[in-house]
């Protein structure tokens, strides 16, 4: 699949942000830990969610997609604690089945996690935590197998503030005997959302959103109705789209506080950023100014916004840098930006953007989800036509990305075949 676009239109108008993908994946896993029905609202309609729901069906979860953004799940008929199929291997969040099934059945067998190739992405911290909770771990046929005779509370210190490990351990510890303490926990908004959701099912989790989380295990979790928070990264991507196209975009139905690091950088770069209740309006200016950015765990600047920021720095006046401190392989998009005429250089974990001015349309390949979205922003800011290939990555995490951009005045279409690409290029040029 490819996106074909013609750049140059300043994006303008309002866009409504969907539910947070990375919260949804943890929340869906939490939902199957109850034998009662759980209703989840504001579910983003993205591929990763669809893949996880398919994996649920295969192990016996009743999945009722009430409408595009609402699902009812019932985990009362699960008949196996083994989740392994080709699609679950493609997504990262399959690993949440480890925590959910281990907590509920004291046994879990799950295909090794896939996901975007942005670094080695080990899961040693998840496994260390599960072992401390009493599970024995082995790898077999590239599956992770966990088994616990007695799942009990433990004191767990994470070597790094891992989002996945924090969520996975909250899941398992919610049904463990006794109290678990997770130190150096991740603090991302979706950690808090998953904890709130588990608490609404009867779990006893305190401190989510802080460094130390305390979980008192309960016997079982009950049904609930829960609404997922808005997607911080989708919102940030549209805010950046306003900046790079010198547009005027209001992102609606968000939690502005989650956007603080991104808003601060946009202000520093000379944009106007106006908070209005549950919306933020970003007004791009004729000149963007460079800045230096370092990705950090929340509340720092999110690694998932790093490529979008890279595009803005290509268009800004002066030299700007990005230091990537979370993943070691997240600069692959920089080579693609060079094809558009950007003057950039990567030195280890630092990318340098020499503010080369206008970008030129080019044929690009999306290396991963967020980089794919960033290349689309580059194409919309560039002169002429840009084609971004492998946008299946983007569909994994952005709902209706092309349609939402079209709603803001972008000339962008999704193409499946070479013929489609030719036709679209002819129509928009």
- CA dist 285 and 247 (Å) reads 8
Closest CA to 3 of 282, 429, 403: 403
Site string for ligand EPZ, 98-117 (x = CB under 6 A): ------------------x-
Q: Is 92 in the site for ligand EPZ (CB under 6 A)?
A: yes
Smallest separation (angstroms) from ligand EPZ to the CB of 394? 10
Smallest separation (angstroms) from ligand EPZ to the CB of 254? 17
Q: Is 319 in the site for ligand EPZ (CB under 6 A)?
A: no
Handedness of CA 334, 336, 339, 341 (dihedral sign): negative
Closest CA to 32 of 10, 60, 5: 60
Residue with Cβ nearer ligand EPZ (96 or 226): 96
Smallest separation (angstroms) from ligand EPZ to the CB of 289? 27
Catalytic residue chosen out of the listed positions 82, 116, 271, 291:
116
Radius of gyration in angstroms for the set of CA atoms belonging to the chain, rounded to a whole number? 22
Q: Is 123 in the site for ligand EPZ (CB under 6 A)?
A: yes
- CA dist 258 and 424 (Å) reads 37
Task: Please identify the residue of the shown chain whose CB is closest to the bound ligand EPZ.
Answer: 164
- CA dist 3 and 332 (Å) reads 19
Q: Which two tokens stand for residue 41?
A: 């609202």
Residue with Cβ nearer ligand EPZ (103 or 307): 307
Q: Which of 397, 408, 410, 411 binds ligand EPZ (CB under 6 A)?
A: 397
Q: Which helix (H) or strand (E) holds 271?
A: none
Q: Is 187 in the site for ligand EPZ (CB under 6 A)?
A: no
Q: Which two tokens stand for residue 370?
A: 């967020």
CB 224 within 8 A of CB 33: no
Mark residue 13 as left, alpha or beta (left: phi above 0; alpha: psi -120 to 50; beta: remaining). left
Four-CA torsion 423, 424, 425, 428, nearest 10 degrees: 130
Beta-ladder partners of 412? 5
CB 95 within 8 A of CB 125: no
Q: Which of 9, 162, 237, 263 binds ligand EPZ (CB under 6 A)?
A: 162
Query: For ligand EPZ, which stretch binds (CB under 6 A), given 155-163, 171-179, 241-249, 405-413?
Result: 155-163
Residue with Cβ nearer ligand EPZ (76 or 207): 207
The three-state secondary structure class of 429 is coil
Smallest separation (angstroms) from ligand EPZ to the CB of 397? 5
Residue with Cβ nearer ligand EPZ (116 or 387): 116
Residue with Cβ nearer ligand EPZ (6 or 370): 370
Q: Is 303 in the site for ligand EPZ (CB under 6 A)?
A: yes
Site residues for ligand EPZ, window 351-390 (CB under 6 A)? 369-370
CB 96 within 8 A of CB 26: yes
- CA dist 96 and 244 (Å) reads 36
Q: Which residues of 236-273 are buried (b: 16+ CB within 10 A; e: fewer)?
A: bbbbbbbbbbbbbbbbbbbebebbebbbebbeebbbeb
Q: Under rule CB under 6 A, how many of the chain's residues touch ligand EPZ?
A: 25
Site string for ligand EPZ, 13-32 (x = CB under 6 A): ---------x--x-------
Active site residue 116: yes
Residue with Cβ nearer ligand EPZ (4 or 261): 261
Smallest separation (angstroms) from ligand EPZ to the CB of 72? 23
Residue with Cβ nearer ligand EPZ (88 or 421): 88
Cis before residue 236, ω within 30 degrees of 0? no
Query: For ligand EPZ, which stretch binds (CB under 6 A), given 118-126, 212-220, 235-243, 416-424?
Result: 118-126
Q: Burial level of 112, CB count in 10 A (0-12/13-18/19+)?
A: middle
Q: Which of 19, 44, 164, 247 binds ligand EPZ (CB under 6 A)?
A: 164
Q: Which of 66, 160, 267, 428 binds ligand EPZ (CB under 6 A)?
A: 160
Q: Is 126 in the site for ligand EPZ (CB under 6 A)?
A: yes
Catalytic residues: 116
User: Contact residues for ligand EPZ (CB under 6 A)?
Assistant: 22, 25, 92-93, 116, 119, 121-126, 160, 162-165, 186, 303-304, 326-327, 369-370, 397
């Amino acid at each position: 699949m490819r996106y074909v676009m013609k750049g140059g239109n300043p994006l303008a108008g309002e866009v409504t942000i969907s539910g947070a993908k990375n919260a949804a994946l943890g929340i869906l896993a939490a939902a199957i830990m109850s034998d009662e029905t759980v209703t989840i609202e504001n579910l983003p309609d993205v591929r990763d969610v669809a893949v996880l729901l398919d994996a649920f069906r295969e192990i016996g979860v009743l999945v009722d997609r009430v409408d595009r953004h609402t699902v009812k799940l019932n985990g009362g008929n699960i008949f196996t604690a083994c989740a392994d199929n080709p699609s679950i291997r493609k997504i990262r969040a399959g690993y949440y089945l480890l925590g959910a099934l281990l907590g509920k059945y004291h046994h879990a067998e799950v295909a090794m996690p896939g996901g975007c190739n942005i670094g080695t992405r080990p899961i040693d911290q998840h496994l260390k935590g599960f072992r401390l909770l009493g599970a024995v771990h082995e790898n077999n046929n590239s599956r992770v197998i966990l088994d616990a005779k007695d799942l009990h509370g433990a004191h767990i210190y994470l070597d790094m503030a891992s989002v996945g490990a924090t969520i996975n351990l909250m899941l398992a510890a919610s049904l463990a005997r006794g109290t678990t303490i997770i130190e150096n926990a991740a603090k991302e908004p979706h950690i808090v959302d998953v904890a709130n959701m588990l608490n609404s099912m009867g779990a006893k989790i305190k401190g989510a959103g802080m460094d130390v989380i305390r979980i008192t295990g309960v016997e079982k979790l009950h049904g609930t109705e829960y609404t997922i928070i808005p997607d911080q990264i989708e919102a940030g991507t549209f805010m950046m789209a306003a900046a790079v196209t010198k547009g005027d975009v209001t992102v609606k139905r968000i939690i502005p506080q989650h956007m603080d690091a991104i808003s601060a950088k946009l202000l520093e770069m000379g944009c106007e950023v106006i908070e209005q209740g549950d919306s933020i309006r970003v007004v791009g200016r004729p000149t963007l100014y460079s800045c230096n950015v370092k990705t950090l765990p929340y509340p720092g600047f999110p690694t998932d916004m790093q490529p979008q920021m890279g595009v803005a720095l290509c268009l800004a006046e002066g030299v700007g840098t990005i230091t990537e401190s979370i993943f070691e392989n997240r600069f692959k998009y920089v080579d693609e930006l060079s094809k558009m005429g950007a003057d950039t250089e990567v030195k280890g974990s630092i990318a340098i953007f020499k503010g080369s001015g206008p970008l030129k349309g080019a044929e690009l390949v999306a290396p991963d989800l967020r980089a794919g979205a960033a290349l689309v922003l580059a194409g919309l800011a560039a002169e002429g036509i840009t084609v971004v290939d492998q946008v299946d990555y983007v569909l994994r995490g952005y709902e209706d990305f092309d349609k939402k951009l079209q709603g803001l005045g972008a000339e962008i279409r999704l193409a499946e075949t070479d013929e489609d690409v030719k036709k679209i290029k002819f129509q928009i040029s």
